[in-house]
Structure 1
Amino acid sequence: MRAFREAVEAGDLDAVEALLAEDVVFTSPVVFKPYPGKAITASILRGVTRVFEDFRYERELDGADGRDHALVFRARVGERELTGCDFIHLDEDGLIDELTVMVRPLSGAQALAAAMGAQFDQILKDAEARSAPAS
């Protein structure tokens, strides 16, 4: 998905968030339970940008129906290099309703889990602020 890739590469997290459906489901590479909702997904993605270093997409794959996409990436978390893939599904309106991330190797996934765990209080606060009604 070109718009998502370009927004991520530009560091434009507001544009990334605008591409998410309200009922998006984020599936983490290091947590069993999926995270439903735009606010938590956007907050997790913001947290990931604080954790990943030297992030770059290397390949983009598109499904025949135009609604399934895969973006292969490389990044570093501390001393660990990792390879991963963002699997994206679009709803009827062209918004992301499923985002599943997978990473390898295990040592990279473990480094990611530890780094994101350290971010999670901030992620939850950010998600709460995003889901609060505007005053």
Structure 2
Amino acid sequence: MNSSFLLVILYLLEGDGSSINASFVNVESRSASQEKATVLHDILSSSKDVTLLESSCFKSKLSFSSFNHQYEDTLYFNYRMTLAADEAVITSSETKIACIIEQEMAALEGIESYCVKSTQHMK
């Protein structure tokens, strides 16, 4: 699906250090994003192991695979994410270290970004 909106959910998991986790939901409209955000917020906020940081809808042509629950042997993908006003700019990073270096380089240009990990891969 090549949607025009992307619901971005950022959260911390208990016992996962300071790594920011991200989940992505491709949707066709802002109202669909808000509906999904409400459902996911209720699910995540009921878990004692999850700290919800942000749940927002952005314009984006990016597409992600379906969400996979996290297990010990789960493969993670690293992304550098810039959330500006109404648009999400997300780029793939080879490793967490590479993402941090990219993040620091962007900060020198005054761009605030996040390094996140996700079980979802960018299509």
TM value normalised by structure 2: 0.27
Q: Could you say which structure has the greater relative contact order, defined with CA pairs below 8 angstroms and 6 or more residues apart?
A: 2
TM value normalised by structure 1: 0.25
